[in-house]
Chain A
Amino acid sequence: MAKKDNLSERLSKIDNRVIFLLLAICLGLPLLIPIGLPLGISTGTSSFYKYVEGLPSGSLVACVYEISASVSPEVYPQAVAVTAHLKSRNLKIVALGFSVTGPMFADNAFRDVFGASREHELYGKSFVNLGYIAGGEAAMKVFATNPRMVEKDFYGRDTKDMQILQEVSSPKDFKLMIVYSGDWMEPYVRQFGDPHGVPIASGVTSTIVPRIMAFYPAKIKGYLTGLRGAAEYELLVKRPGSALGGMDAQSAAHLLIIGLVIAGNAGYLVGRFRRKEA
């Protein structure tokens, strides 16, 4: 009897160090020995992909990088997979950031997909990195009224004569705005979507998705959910990367957390039942 009581108590009071160790094993092991569990495509990713597929070749796409270093493991793989898709569809990319670190990730994404950034022969023709625009939502509003407000790009070059920007005179020229972020989408809907009719798609962290879904599909055409969204997109564009590799680890970690929750509840319920009995 005492042994049983002990077990229920143990189940409901597992030490933090044990949980951390188990989680580390669950995350580390599948990365070293991948299982390759099958991955389905979710609605948000499928809509995102189809919208990009439906754009006429040569269309302008604004890519807003709101990626901070902390959320980059989830969001950056999305940006790489989507940039690869945009490149394969011959779409023109205007990258910018309303957060300080965003343009650094745009630069990384161009290097990963195009092999180079400002040194590339297509820089300024097929893609450009406008850099950071300070001011948050106020900056969005100013950019929406004049998308050619940025005089120097991220690398300090004059944007005036850049071929890609000759095609931009109003936000309506962007056939799609893709926002990679770990934050809410309302400012983009307010400043670009509603007043100018710019279609918006987003790649965000998993925690933001419940809020994004309130705007889907009327105001947000598609969305990528964290690392899983990135993995699905990698599958769709046939460019396996770090996100697909991380899916097994995510499965193992989720299973562990569910197992812990079940163990905790079993211990709690058995303990409560025994207290009632006594």
Chain B
Amino acid sequence: MKIKLPLAITTIILVLMVADYFVKDPLLNPLVRDLTKAILIMTACAVGIGVIRLIKLNVDRITVRKTNRLESAITLIAFAAFVIVGAILGSGHPNYAYMFNTIIVPLDSTMFALSGFYMASAAYRAFRARSEEAFVLLLAGVVVMLGQAPVGEVLWSATPSLSQWIMDVPNTAGVRALIMGIAIGMLSLTIRMITGHEKGYLASGE
């Protein structure tokens, strides 16, 4: 029963969801719409759980484990500041927008921008023509990089069209094959779940 009931629920929900995509039915479509709304409620609850977990983890670090106390304190203070301002004034208030634009945006952008430096270093170390295939990859990478920046066209007028061709033809062919492969994989996984053969998502799977 511990296994059969969740399997039965999964199968019923999956069949309804798949059917809703293909069938127009006055009974089925509103039912699935309500089921989907339940997902929104669960997502909101998940955010709540995440908040509780964040507070617990950082309070534990400060009081029990006594590791990274300063970082945890900063996290909790920043969290409290955003929650208080957001709850009292609303996230559309100019003060909240000011906090967002002057704290979160620069910090997050800086973190992302730093990855550019590591990517430059990684490209220098990893892009080595160790084989013919690696040389082709290297060449394609250089052409696409030049095609992405105005300097490519200044150096050689054909760079943008060559770069576009690489993106349009070999890249698109590869990505479409990848997407099709993923879709077929998902379809087979869905069939396994509907027929009860896939049990990996049931925690222990016993």
Contact = CB atoms under 8 A, between A and B. Distances in A.
Given A213-B168, A261-B138, A69 B109 contact: yes
Contact of A71 (B92, B93, B112, B167): B112
A37 B148 CA distance: 13
Interface string A49-64: 0000000000000000
Interface string B29-67: 100010011011001100100000000000000000000
Interface in B127-183: 127-130, 138, 141-142, 145-146, 148-154, 160, 164, 167-168, 171-172, 175-176, 179
A70 B160 CA distance: 28
B124 A260 contact: yes
A257 B123 contact: yes
A141 B118 CA distance: 38
Interface stretch (A158-166, A171-179, A248-256): A248-256
Nearest to A216: B172
A141 to B, nearest CB: 5
Interface string B100-142: 1100110111011100110011011101111000000010011
Nearest to B90: A156
A146 B30 CA distance: 11
Contact of A261 (B127, B130, B150, B152): B127
Given A42-B160, A43-B164, A225 B148 contact: yes
Interface of A: 14, 16, 19-20, 23-24, 37-40, 42-43, 68-73, 101, 103-104, 107-108, 118, 129, 131-136, 138-139, 141-142, 145-146, 153-156, 186, 195, 206, 209-211, 213-214, 225-226, 228, 247-248, 250-258, 260-261, 263-265, 268-269
15 contacts: A68-B108, A70-B108, A131-B91, A131-B92, A139-B40, A145-B29, A213-B172, A250-B148, A251-B149, A254-B146, A254-B148, A254-B152, A256-B120, A261-B138, A264-B128
